[in-house]
Structure 1
Amino acid sequence: MKDVKIISFEPKYAKDFAQLNTEWLEKYFVVEPHDTELMEACEENIIDKGGFIFFAQVGESIAGTFSLIKLDNGFYELGKMAVSPSFQGHKIGQKLMQFCIDYARTNGWERLVLYSNTILENAIYIYRKYGFKEVPLEENPPYLRGNIKMELIL
């Protein structure tokens, strides 16, 4: 496999962001209104509100993505993490995760939170491997599919 580069959001990659996330959501769940809001207007709803979107690029292909959605100063939600099925099995998700944590620490953030579902065993394994711990799920989480909330204190 060619080298994996982590690159920042550019408007030309907005379609890749939506496609990668729609692909896995439709495979395991459904695309919820909150997902649609974030994916169809990612620049307005993530970037312009102080968040970030990154991509894993292999050659000329976008192989994966994730976003950091600002919740408060120094507090971000790791969301919309996805790797294209054609690139799975090459540890791209782990490269994205390590980049995410390094980026958060470099910027002096306090913590990251994420929402997931326990049927996504590989994802939960990776989150735990990188130090995320399960915390209580609030009464009305942002995603209906979310049955686990995890946090990483930086």
Structure 2
Amino acid sequence: MIAPMSGASEAQAFRDLNVEWITAYFELEQSDLDLLNDPERVVIEPGGQVYLAHCEGKTVGGVALMAYGSGTYKIAKMAVTPEYRGRGIGRQLMMHAVEEARALGACKLFLASSRSLVSAIGLYESVGFERLSPDEWPFPRFARADVFMQMSV
């Protein structure tokens, strides 16, 4: 089941999921911490949402849909805890975020990733994201990001 984040315990679960995967491959950056420490202020108040996947009574995945005005949104901080990977939860989260963006009037969706995250990039391409050149990326960058993508919705 996928539902919008509600309450401090779910915000902590979203933070924990992301710290888990980011620190497994990379280093946390200040912009990660800004979002993960206060998703209400950084994601929800500007018009976005955090969606969480629940399975067997646990929060097992999450994704942020960030609003930037003029029909522009960015998918960020998609995570699935390791023991639940390979069950289609990431795809469900991504599809849910895309559908919610459409419902909010999105024209363009963006996301950034790393070429070392081969499975994630395959997922993004399979749902319709296309690669951009780095100079087409309209947002601040993470040090780990070297793949930039967009989707028209």
Q: Which residue of 1 aligns with 2:47?
A: 50
| Residue correspondence of structure 1 range 102-117 to structure 2 within 5 A | 102-117=99-114
Pick from 22, 27, 30: which aligns with 2:27?
Answer: 30
Contact map agreement 1:22 1:31 (CA 8 A) in 2? yes
Pick from 63, 71, 89: which aligns with 2:86?
Answer: 89
Runs of at least 5 residues in structure 2 that lack an aligned partner in the other structure = none
Q: Does 1:10 align with 2:6?
A: yes
**Count of equivalent residues:** 150
Q: Does 1:133 align with 2:113?
A: no
Q: Specify the SS of the correspondent of 1:131.
A: coil
Give the counterpart letter for 1:91 in structure 2: G
- Give the CA deviation at 1:109: 1.0
- Once the two structures are superposed, residues 100-122 of structure 1 have per-residue CA deviations (whole angstroms, 9 ceiling, x without a partner) of 11112222210110010001000
- TM-score, normalization: structure 2? 0.93
Give every structure 1 segment of 4 or more consecutive aligned residues whose post-TM-superposition deviation is greater than 3 Å: 138-141
- TM-score, normalization: structure 1? 0.93
Q: Percent identity?
A: 31
Q: Does 1:151 align with 2:147?
A: no
Runs of at least 5 residues in structure 1 that lack an aligned partner in the other structure = none
Contact map agreement 1:34 1:142 (CA 8 A) in 2? no
- Once the two structures are superposed, residues 7-53 of structure 1 have per-residue CA deviations (whole angstroms, 9 ceiling, x without a partner) of 11112301011100000100110000000000011111111121110
Q: Which residue of 2 aligns with 1:142?
A: 141
